[in-house]
Structure 1
């Protein structure tokens, strides 16, 4: 796995080489996730044209079709993608149901005998891998298959990574100066940050489950007790766990908590598109870089429409537009640097050294232990 991580690091450093300081300065005063991959955001539509890649089925279709999407993505993203998809496929009626990545997994699992969704848009590597192993996803090799590195897709074509989500430290830039913010993960458990941290409820959120699992792994996966102890200290400094991203933003805006853990895309979206006073610190030791992916649901009633949507969503045109307008780091390696925003060209995405296979296998056990034995108990 260290070899894979080395390849990952080289690829990302090559694509996003440069100084993090440039990005931090540019991001001062806002942040968040595309309305978090568990959130919501406002924003405008861009001018990129629909994908020129061949679709799974012809755009012109006689009878109206339907497409049901379960998604962890934000309305900010819908604003860019869905109208353009409708232009290309006017006979496909799209319905979206928004929920956290873990909630999508649980729902697709519960509906296995009678699938209600066609397309899964916005899932963590762990959640999608689990779904694939449980036979919940439909294999499909898209036209762009060779443009996505092996690290970011399933070997049996059951899911593909759409984008990369570095998980970082978020803070209220009106309440704290950059030097007053924890610069690395272990600084978060310093008692001086007691009651300054507010966290989005962990279990329903793919973002938070990834961060917390990474914190356990980095202490030693074979001895999770060390990681549990670290999370207990973090719990002692945590003022509140919010129900959802919207409430997280509200608490941060009111300075009821001034530090949080969140994904970089959403931080940038909330700051630059929604004018929230957020900024971020990229941890010195590296960040968990979550692969946010897409998949077709096994037994989907509208499989052709789902394939068309996957091809369209992952096209270079849409990937480039989402990078520029929604700060989305594409998984495709064939996106020209000229089609990426300046900050993305200059940002070095340093990954934590993680074994994602172990993370996926242990996440459920680790998170259950956190929920039953750690959450809310650190101050006692």
Structure 2
């Protein structure tokens, strides 16, 4: 997730707009955990605009639960939690990368909890011991510029294997996995689906067709949308938004399956207000929460999702699980530094 500014905001039932919620956030300066009945502290990596919308919907359903929020990027939130490990300051983790959540040091801080409606979330999107569950996430996709493809008489790709064909030489752009979580999910999923030996051989071949690697996960799609490149390796929600805005692109989900990151939720062992923390976590799998997630996220894990029309028009199926590669989140987390070091040695010399 982007951004490193910490915000702490108290959100109540009072009539506030989503914009007001964001504007009302104050710089985080609190100390100590939440001990007051009806008040919890939540750590999250959701983006500020979606966070404000989610919180407003939550307060409409849980008017008696007061929520203090600390919002940080995934890496910064991990660092803060580890620094506070001896005296955690929060009750709930919400919308945080599963590949960060599975760190054994983090897992040791969690208390298993299964919301009443947890069966709506398939087992593949939750910890087998009940330590965490994911309700949202984001997935990889290709953004293919239809005009650029037609100009050069190029065939539409349908898979990762297509992208290493010689006719695509110099036509590709993708995020650098050393700086972009989207870039890393692509690389990690390729190494998992192909095996490391063949995966690195594939990435060597892909590199021959790559014009450049850039820091942002969204910029490859934006660059392809603007006609700067024929194909941008990016993520689905950016493609969906650009298609909805009228850009001449096609979203392609690779036939081998899309790499993805889940945004997970969990209860802290040290929570001083577990009743309200559990009410909050129950809400995160509610129908109203799902309705709000649907407006913002390409992955909403609850079964029976009503897929938004603009998502379907862009090519996302009703059942998102049918197009996702089954990522091993623990493996991706444990091998992150080694994979990035190898990638940089091969492609940044």
Q: One fold, TM greater than 0.5?
A: yes
For residues 131-156 of structure 1, give each alpha carbon's deviation from its aligned partner in whole angstroms, at most 9, with x where no partner exists.
57751433222222333222221122
CA distance in 2, matches of 1:328, 1:246: 14
Normalised by the length of structure 1, the TM-score is: 0.66
Match status 1:158 vs 2:128? no
Distance 1:136 1:266 in 2: 34
Measure how far apart 1:185 and its partner are.
0.3
**Whose relative contact order is higher, 1 or 2, with alpha carbons under 8 Å and at least 6 apart?**
1
The whole-number CA distance in structure 1 between the counterparts of 2:183 and 2:158 is: 19
For 1:296 and 1:204, the matched residues in 2 are separated by: 29
Distance 1:292 1:358, change over 3 A: closer
- The answer as to 2:311 corresponding to 1:330 is no
Displacement of 1:183 in angstroms is: 1.8
Matched residue pairs, number? Answer: 312
Partner of 1:184: 159
Q: Which position in structure 1 is the counterpart of 2:251?
A: 280
2:63 to 63, 85, 89: 89
Aligned equivalent of 2:39, options 43, 65, 76: 65
- Consecutive unaligned residues in structure 2, runs of 5 or more: 4-16, 19-34
Change (3 A) 1:175 1:98: farther
Residue 298 of structure 1 deviates from its aligned partner by 5.0
Measure the CA separation in 2 of the matches of 1:275 and 1:67.
41
Structure 1 stretches of 5 or more lacking a match? 1-36, 46-60
1:182 match: secondary structure? coil
**Equivalent residue of 2:348, what SS?**
coil
Compute the displacement of 1:241 (Å): 3.3
CA RMSD of aligned residues (A): 3.8
2:13 is matched with none
Structure 1 residue 303: Cα displacement: 5.3
Q: Does 1:219 align with 2:194?
A: yes
Q: 1:201 to 1:309 in 2, by over 3 A?
A: farther
| TM-aligned CA distance change 1:89 to 1:247, over 3 Å | farther
User: Quick one: which of 190, 196, 201 aligns to 1:229?
Assistant: 201
Which deviations, in whole Å up to 9, do the C-alpha atoms of 1:327-354 show, x marking residues without a partner? Answer: 5443223x3x6x4445366567544665
Match of 2:286 in 1: 315
Instruction: Measure, in 2, the Cα distance between the counterparts of 1:302 and 1:247.
Output: 42
Alignment partner, residue 340 of structure 2: 368
Q: Is contact 2:307-2:318 (8 Å) kept?
A: no
Partner of 1:244: 216
The answer (yes or no) to whether the contact 2:283–2:289 under 8 Å persists in 1 is: yes
Give a deviation string over 1:83-128, Cα, whole Å, max 9, x none: 12233336624434242x4554444334323435544333444332
Render the CA deviation track for 1:132-183: whole Å, top value 9, x for unaligned: 7751433222222333222221122111021364422223455445964432
| 1:200 is aligned to 2:175 | yes
Q: Deviations over 1:32-57 (max 9, x none)?
A: xxxxx659xxxx98xxxxxxxxxxxx
Contact 1:105 1:131 in 2 (8 A): no
SS in 1 for 2:103: helix
Cα distance change, pair 78–118 in 1 and its aligned pair in 2 (3 A): same
TM-score for the superposition, normalised by structure 2:
0.71
